[in-house]
Amino acid sequence: MLLPELFHLQDKLGVNVFATARPLGHITSRFEKATSIEIRAHSEDVRKYVNGRMGELPMVVQRDLALQEAVMDNISRAVDGMFLLAKLHFESLIGKMTAKTIRTTLECLPTGSSAYHSAYEEAMSRIQDQNKDKRDMARKALLWITCAKQRLTQSALQEALAVEIGERKLDQDNLPDMQDVASACAGLVAIDEESDVVRLVHYTTQDFFERTRQKWFKDAESHIAEVCLTYLLFDHSQSWGDDRQSNAFPLHNYAVSNWGHHVRDASMQKHYQVIPVLESHPSFHAPTRRSTDIQNGLTRRDALTFATTALHRAAYFGLDQSVEALLHRGHHPDVMSQSLHNNSIQTPLMTASQQGYDKVVNVLLSGQANPNLSDKDERTALWWAAYEGYDDIVKLLIEKGADLDYADLDGATVLGVACEEGHTAVVEALLPSAQVDLASKFCGTYHPPLFIAVKLGHVGIIETLVKNGATENLGEDWAKRAISLAVTRRHDEVVQLLLRIGANPHSLALFAISARTIFHNTSRRSY
């Protein structure tokens, strides 16, 4: 959405756009007509970089000026303007102890489109050749950095690497020094001093590990899940409700916000530590989701801070087998969870519907969860599923008797919110029921569902609504009002659609000059 908005501003206001981007086809294609320059490393810059690190190579190189010249020449030619390759190629020389092995390596430096892949394979080979302790530490560090759900700070990664599976506390003597960790990773890891985040050295490194993940980190999800479960069951875990205590344990926020995702992805729901974590751990936090939700008071943080019961936590993470186990252990399916964030409440069914876990929804409904309970804003599980666009869950809830015409405190109906968010599949799932009132108001004096779709330019939804009789109770002038709204909003495709289904173009006669101009521009292009 960003690029279309920028280009719209450029057309409308004549603004200049200065942009930098990776060489990705779907982005560069949008700037085909723009003046551009490729940013590349010059050969002399590469030579200076290599010369500045020459003291890191063995003495056999430092005492041989001709060999030093060969190192600078070969690396600067091989990198072909890609500065990261200079770093990777240089570090491939550090462990070589004779002039012959240095020259042999220089003669085989990878070039061309596969250079990064070859350089990363070479780096991983060097890691594998280290002693066991360094090799294992590097592998675990790279696993966490590559496969974690969010970036980790130095101290959080330290704790992750120090956790011993099954132990009851974190042994401070087991914390590694992060400089040693980075050194063991053969140049593939960088520490951002400003943000304190540990990351891979380049976006191509992430691409490499994503392509070869099964080769290097086949057990990533299960390993991270076990570390998080162990960490959350440490003897001091009961004090984590206190923010001061939580800050004392850097891995806490990551573990508590993501352990369930790793358990689900690793198919570890029957692991012996899962139910104890669900039943014993306090409420937790996670980042918010999107700016439009924040403006409307709807955030992922809400969903997580609701999760003060075991069932809510299992529902949030999509742990359907765990939900079933908790129901068998006597947990009530309609338990309300009090939010520590804003004093709101949700049932596990609302949480699962909001997060999009149809298997959890099915388990809860089979366990007699009530689909028509609502939160403090009068939003039901069906409302949340419609808002998020989960049509399979909408169908499940309808089958179990969910009220389709239920409106929240602002008057937003299930159909209205699906139209507003542009979820065509949800609208299609709702319309077969005669209970849905296509002419119902949305937010009091606001538009019926059809006009919501027109206002926001959702062509597919407009077609679906019209086919299902959305115009029958809207009065004779519905087409005039609809086309006027579409022209005002600059939705050319919607104007064309409305004209095809019967709107009168002469209804625009009383529009302001700007509106007529939009319409006539559209006319010249299409009809």
Strands (E), 88-231: 152-153, 189-192, 197-200
- Span 240-262, pLDDT tens digits: 455 555 567 899 999 999 999 99
Q: Which of 62, 60, 182 is nearest to 123 (CA)?
A: 182
Longest Cα separation, the chain: 93
Task: Please indicate whether residue 416 or residue 432 has the higher confidence score (pLDDT).
Answer: 416
**pLDDT above 50 (res 197):** yes
Q: How far apart are CA 210 and CA 215, in angstroms?
A: 10
Q: Which residues have C-beta within 8 Å of that of residue 63, sequence separation ≥ 6? A: none
Average pLDDT over residues 132-154: 97
How does the average pLDDT of the chain come out, rounded? 83
- Span 337-391, pLDDT tens digits: 765 444 568 899 999 999 999 999 999 999 999 999 999 899 999 999 999 999 9
Which residues share a beta bridge with 199? 190
Neighbours of 20 (CB within 10 A): 5
Task: Show the tokens assigned to 223.
Answer: 């390993």
Catalogue all structural domains in the chain, each as residue range(s) with its CATH number. 2-31 (no CATH), 43-109 (no CATH), 130-282 (no CATH), 284-403 (1.25.40.20)
Average pLDDT over residues 498-511: 61
The per-residue pLDDT for 331 is: 95
Amino acid at 347: T
Q: Which of 115, 92, 87 is nearest to 103 (CA)?
A: 92
Average pLDDT over residues 475-496: 79
- Span 283-332, pLDDT tens digits: 554 443 433 343 344 444 444 444 578 999 999 999 999 999 999 999 99
**pLDDT above 90 (res 164):** yes
**pLDDT above 90 (res 484):** no
- pTM, entire model: 0.77
The per-residue pLDDT for 1 is: 64
